[in-house]
Structures are given as C-alpha cells and as structure tokens.
Chains A and B, each alone.
Chain A
Amino acid sequence: MALDTIERTAKQLVLTVQDYSVFAYRVMFNLFRPPVYWTDFLIQSDIIGVGSLSIVVLSGLSTGGVLALQSAATLSAFGATAVTGQFVSKTMIRELGPVLTGVMVSGRNASSMASELGSMVVTEQIDAMRALGVDPLRKLVTPRVYSSIAMLFLLTIVSDAFGIIGGGLVTVFMNNQNGPQYYAQAWQHLLFPEILQGLVKPLFFGYVLSTIGCFYGMRTTGGTEGVGRSTIQAVVISSVLIIFVDFLITQVMIALFSSWA
C-alpha cells in the first residue's frame, strides 16, 4: 500500500516536471515567432515592475540597514568598521539584492499570476480564448514571463542601490561612522564578476517565478478551492526554486571567475 503511494507520487512528480519543461520551453520560444503581444508585455511590465517598486525599495533599505548594523558590530571587534561599506555593497549586489527581490516579487506576482490564470481556467475563459483561435500561452503567459525577467532585472538594481543607501544611513546616523568613507568603500572594491553575478541572477529568477506562477495557474483544477491551491504551490515552489537556482548560479559564477582578482 505504502509502495503504491510512493510509486504514484513519484510518477506524479516526474509528470509535473515533464509538463513544466514543455511549458517553459514553449513559452520561451514564443517570443521569437509572431504574433507577439507587445501591448500585453507593457501592461504586465507596469503591473510587475511599477507595482512591486515600493516593496522592493522598502525591503532593500531595511536589508542594507540590517547588514550595516550586524557587520559593524562584528567588524568593530577587529577594528575594521571602515570596511562596512564594502561588506554591505558586496553582499547586496552579489546575493541579497537579487534573492530578496526575487522572493518579494515572487510572493506578489507568482501568486497573482497563478490566481488570475487559475480563475480564468475554472471559469472556462482559457478554453474560450482557445476556441476563439488565440493561443493563451502567447497571449497571457509569454508577456508575463518576459516582463518579469525585464522588470526583475531593473528592480534588483533598485534594491541594490537602496540597500547601499540604507546601509549608509545606518552607518552615518546610528553607528556614527564616516559617510564618505562608507560610500568610497562600497564603490571602489566592487569587481566586475560581482556585478555580473548580481545582474545575471534576476534574469533566471524572473523566468523561474513567472513560469512557475503561470504553470500552476494554467493547470488549475477543482474550482475556487483549486485556485487557492495553485496560488500556494506557485509561491512556495517559486521561492524554493529561486534559492536553489541562486545556489547553482553562484557555484557556476565562482567557478568561471575564480581567477579574477
């Protein structure tokens, strides 16, 4: 009995991965074949990008501030509080900026995509669209995926900037350290691989959160209860995948740029 359950679960998992792979592949290459819905791309960019700006600014500021507080406490034990700026900027740009932005945007937008598309599925709007000769993947999913990638890239830069500003504010007004020194440290010690790493990650995170959100929305079954289930799955799986993909990209980037001094 237990073996049956394991077998069924394993098959279900493999089937889901297979379905997701086909879905993600189709969505990715839709952009290169007409029709491309540019208006929908702009609308989604507004919803995802402008709509997420406030949470990204606030989370970036707070994270930068916390980093400055925590690092200054530790660094002071070694008489190295002067490198707080370097610590905050490297951590924000390489790691926390992309990951936090990805998780925040995932919480807001993967859930919204799953619930919106899920509602359309259970009310037969997706079938109606197909019956009218319009491909829902092209019309609904592809614009969401590409606008998520573009917007997450820009939002990560915003988050990095506000993280460094937040760290600076804490350094100057709470830790009573030298402001110009903080900003000089934050800027001068940044290396190209670190910036590249920080800018490559959101491209992958945007793809992951939007394809997962849309995938679970499009395969919703079971009425309104099913919409709720899809929304939860989308947020949980996209958040976990973002952290896992972050691990993989970090490994690859470190290996690629190990000789960079």
Chain B
Amino acid sequence: MGLTSPLPQSADGTSTARAPEPVLEFRHVTLSFRGPDVLEDISFSLGPAETRILLGPTGVGKSVLLKLANGLFLPDKGKILLFQHEISDMTEESLFPLRTRTGMVFQEGALFDSLTVRDNVAYQLVQERVPDDEIDARVHEALRFVELDQTFDMFPSSLSGGMRRRVAIARALIHKPELLLYDSPTGGLDPVTSTTIIELIVKQRDVYRTPSLLVTHRLQDAFTMCTHRFDTESGRMVPLPEGQTDPGTTFLMLSEGRMIFDGSLHDLVSSQDPFVREFLQ
C-alpha cells in the first residue's frame, strides 16, 4: 500500500482517515550520521487520538525516527511538524517548550539513577516549581495508573526491568502530554511483563486518547494492541470481538531506512510486499 492510499474502513465501520491537522507529520525526512542515510525520504503523519505502531527489525532506524519526532535529532533534509510547528531547523532552546508537551518512554526506561521514583516521575513538575503537595498527589496518581504506588520512595536500582518501564511510563504521563512516544517499551522483557506494559499502553490509549507513536520489533505486542481494548469497568485489557480491530491503531514499517508500509492491520496482513511477508512470518 502506498503512503498516500486511503485507509480502509475498520471492523466497526469507523473511517481510519486521519484528521486534517496532524499532531506530528514527517515530510520527506532524510538523516545520516557521517555515512550512508540512516533514514531516507520518510513521510507519514499522526492524527489526534491516533496510535501508530512503527515496526521493523533491529537496527533499521526506528529509535532514530522516534528521536526525530521531538527534535532530539534534527533531519538533514525534509520537514518535521510537531503540533503544527516546523521543528526541523529550530534551536535546542526553542524546542524545549514543545518537548514539554510530549511524553517519551525510552528503551530501558532512562530513569535518573540518583533520584527516587518520586523525583523521577515528578522531574518536570519540580523544574516548573510546582508546590510539593501537588507534586506528591500527582505522582501518586501517575504511579497508581501504572500500579506501582508502593515504589514512591524507592530508587530505580531496586526496581526490576518491567517496573522501571512502568515508572518511565508514569513519568511520561504525569504532565498530561499531547503526544506520547514509546521506544521499544517491551524490549528485553519476558512475555508476562511485556503484556503488563502493553496493557498499560492500551489503557492509556483508551482512557486518555493521547496520540501515540510506538516503536517495536515485536509483532505480538503490535497485534495485541490492535485487537484489544481497555475495559474500564473490570480494569483489564479485553479482546475485541472476533474480526474487529481498534480503528485508531495503524501501522508503519521501516526497512533499510525507508518507509515501506503505512496502513491498518488488515492492510498489513494482506500486504504482498516480500519484506512485510517475511517480517510477518
């Protein structure tokens, strides 16, 4: 499927066509690091309340693409629009206000070792000099969301890998971001812990409807996100009825620095692209 092809109707009949004003848009973006292009002519957009899952094998440039999205890297060519601001040639200083409107979950959590879980989660609020009482209340709320309220006073070194990711998610959510970026949030975790993390991401998607870009090389996680919803009554992730998928969750796929797929789960599984077929198998 081409990058400009219209997206099909999803199982519940809702159109998956993106809103006219995307939260994030890449236009023919190219990036290299003193060598061959890491990313070449990348174009896609992310609309409000939409979740896009970026698939691809390890080392293909997925994390780099994610870091381009909030200006941690700047492109050599092309344009990146974040909240309708072109960030491709912005200075580091002028990017900070835009970054505070996004939340990012890093591959290994990237928690600050010398700070407690409370201070990690509250990092942005502390910088903004929010009163301590309000900080504590909001940290507890964020930690309850990831079901780790008991870790409030602990240091990251005493947490397991999965717990660190969940704290990182709490840190990304506390500021009520307008865009969430997940960099392989389940990478290196066991299947049970991975499911816990995916459940949290689905919960976030269905409760807050924050637009998200999620990078993963694990098809299982991507399919789970697409075929499940969060049930607020039972407080659990439940499967959608047979044949239905979440209408706001769509896929992108990278191969050798190029975007080779942009579409729904249905398009993905029926794609005839040899690389996509090989990746799915």
Interface residues of A (CB under 8 A from B): 35, 123-125, 127-135
A131-B72 contact in complex given A124-B108, A124-B110, C-beta closer than 8 Å:
yes
Q: C-beta contact mask, B193-214 vs A, less than 8 Å → 1, else 0?
A: 0000000000000000000000
Please, which residues of chain B bring their CB within 8 A of the CB of A135? Answer: 92-93, 96
B117 interfacial by beta-carbon distance below 8 Å = no
Bound: A147/B146 CA distance, A? 39
Determine whether the beta carbon of B67 is less than 8 Å from that of A127. yes
| A-B CB proximity, top 6 nearest | A133-B100, A128-B110, A124-B110, A131-B104, A133-B96, A133-B99
Q: Smallest CB-CB separation from A128: which chain B residue?
A: B110
Interface pairs (24), CB distance under 8 Å: A123-B110, A124-B110, A125-B110, A127-B72, A127-B106, A128-B104, A128-B110, A128-B112, A129-B112, A129-B123, A130-B92, A130-B96, A131-B104, A131-B106, A132-B99, A132-B100, A132-B124, A132-B127, A132-B171, A133-B99, A134-B127, A135-B92, A135-B93, A135-B96
CB distance from B131 to the nearest CB of A (A): 17
Q: C-beta contact mask, B51-74 vs A, less than 8 Å → 1, else 0?
A: 000000000000000010010100
B20 interfacial by beta-carbon distance below 8 Å = no
| Given A131-B102, A132-B171, A133-B96, 8 further pairs, Cβ under 8 A | A123-B110, A125-B110, A125-B113, A128-B110, A130-B99, A131-B72, A131-B106, A134-B123
Please, which residues of chain B bring their CB within 8 A of the CB of A134? Answer: 96, 123-124, 127
Main SS class of interface, B: mixed
Please, which residues of chain A bring their CB within 8 A of the CB of B181? Answer: 131
Please, which residues of chain B bring their CB within 8 A of the CB of A129? Answer: 112, 123
Q: Smallest CB-CB separation from B129: which chain A residue?
A: A35
Please, which residues of chain B bring their CB within 8 A of the CB of A123? Answer: 108, 110, 113
B107 interfacial by beta-carbon distance below 8 Å = yes
- Interface hits, B28-48 → A, CB 8 Å: none
Please, which residues of chain A bring their CB within 8 A of the CB of B123? Answer: 129, 132, 134
Please, which residues of chain A bring their CB within 8 A of the CB of B113? Answer: 123, 125
CB distance from A51 to the nearest CB of B (A): 16
Bound: A132/B108 CA distance, A? 16
Q: Smallest CB-CB separation from B67: which chain A residue?
A: A127
Q: Smallest CB-CB separation from B96: which chain A residue?
A: A133
A124-B107 contact in complex given A130-B72, A132-B124, A134-B127, C-beta closer than 8 Å:
yes
Q: Which of B70, B97, B127 contacts A131 (CB 8 A)?
A: B70
Please, which residues of chain B bring their CB within 8 A of the CB of A128? Answer: 104, 106, 110-112
Q: Smallest CB-CB separation from A33: which chain B residue?
A: B93
Q: C-beta contact mask, B76-118 vs A, less than 8 Å → 1, else 0?
A: 0000000000000000110011011010101110111100000
Q: Smallest CB-CB separation from B123: which chain A residue?
A: A132
Q: Smallest CB-CB separation from A116: which chain B residue?
A: B114
Please, which residues of chain A bring their CB within 8 A of the CB of B108? Answer: 123-124
Bound: A134/B128 CA distance, A? 10
Bound: A221/B99 CA distance, A? 24
Bound: A131/B171 CA distance, A? 11
Q: Which of A123, A124, A132, A134 has the most CB of B within 10 A?
A: A132
Bound: A135/B94 CA distance, A? 11
Please, which residues of chain B bring their CB within 8 A of the CB of A132? Answer: 99-100, 123-124, 127, 171
Please, which residues of chain B bring their CB within 8 A of the CB of A125? Answer: 110-113
